[in-house]
Amino acid sequence: MTKNSQTGGDIWGRNWSDTSYWLDGLTPPNMPETSLPREVDVVIVGSGYTGLNAAIETARGGRSTLVLEAETPGWGCSTRNGGQISTSIKPSLDKLAARHGRDRAVAIRSEGCAALKWIEERIKADGINCDFRRAGRFHAAHTPAAFEELARDSEKLRRDEGIEAHMIPRAEQRGELGTDVYHGGALFPAHSALNPALYQHGLLKTALAAGAQVLGQTPVLAISRSAARHEVTTARGTVLARDVIVATNGYTTALTPWQQRRVIPIGSYVIATEPLAKDLIDRLFPTDRVVSDTCKVVYYYRASPDRTRILFGGRVSATETDTHVSGPRLHADMCRVFPELSAAKISHSWMGTVAYTFDELAHTGTHEGVHYAMGYCGSGVSMASYLGMRMGQKVLGLAEGRTAFDDLPFPTRPFYTGRPWFLPAAVAWYRWRDTRQRQQAAG
Ligand X SMILES: Cc1cc2nc3c(=O)[nH]c(=O)nc-3n(C[C@H](O)[C@H](O)[C@H](O)COP(=O)(O)OP(=O)(O)OC[C@H]3O[C@@H](n4cnc5c(N)ncnc54)[C@H](O)[C@@H]3O)c2cc1C
Which residues sit at the interface with ligand X, rule CB under 6 A?
45-51, 68-71, 75-78, 80-85, 219-220, 247-251, 253, 255, 268, 270, 300, 313, 351-352, 354, 374, 376, 378-381, 384
Q: 432 CB contacts (<8 Å, ≥6 apart)?
A: none
Give the separation between CA 169 and CA 183, rounded to whole angstroms. 7
Of 276, 270, 273, 275, the C-alpha closest to 349 is 270
**Please, what is the minimum distance in Å from the beta carbon of residue 98 to ligand X?**
25
CB of 117 to ligand X, least distance (A): 15
If the CB atoms of residues 66 and 183 are measured against ligand X, the closer one turns out to be 66
Cα distance between residue 238 and residue 39, in whole Å: 9
Are the CB atoms for 345 and 310 separated by under 8 Å? no
How distant, in Å, are the alpha carbons of 140, 238, 249, 282, 380 from that of 188? 11, 48, 27, 20, 18
Using the minimum distance from each CB to ligand X, give the nearer residue, 45 or 141. Answer: 45
Q: Which residue is nearest to ligand X (CB)?
A: 380
Q: Which is nearer to ligand X, 68 or 281 (CB)?
A: 68
Q: How far is the CB of 172 from ligand X (least distance, A)?
A: 25
Nearer to ligand X, 131 or 148 (CB): 131
For residue 53, the minimal CB distance to ligand X (Å) is 8
Which amino acid is present at 301?
Y
Task: Give the nearer residue to ligand X in terms of CB position, either 183 or 331.
Answer: 331
Q: Which is nearer to ligand X, 69 or 434 (CB)?
A: 69
CA distance 423 to 6: 27
CB of 162 to ligand X, least distance (A): 21
Query: Comparing C-alpha atoms, which of 336, 341, 381 is closest to residue 362?
Result: 381
Buried residues in 280-308 as b, exposed as e (16+ CB within 10 A): bbeebbeeebbbbbbbebbbbbbbbbeee
Report residue 63: phi and psi, to 5°: -90, 135
Least distance (Å) between residue 218 CB and ligand X: 7
Neighbour-count burial for 415-433, b at 16+ CB within 10 Å, e otherwise: ebebebeebeeebeebbee
> With contact defined as beta carbons under 8 Å apart, do 165 and 152 qualify?
no
For residue 189, what is the DSSP state? T
CB 82, min distance to ligand X, A: 3
Which of residues 46 and 392 has its CB atom nearest to ligand X in the complex?
46
Euclidean distance between CA atoms 304 and 253, whole angstroms: 33
The CB-of-238 to ligand X minimum distance in angstroms stands at 14
Give whichever of 96 and 291 is closer to ligand X, judged by the CB atom.
291
Let me know how many helices (H) and strands (E) the chain has, helices first. 10, 19
Of 81 and 393, nearer to ligand X (C-beta) is: 81
Q: How far is the CB of 333 from ligand X (least distance, A)?
A: 15
Q: Which helix H or strand E contains 253, and what residues bound it? A: none
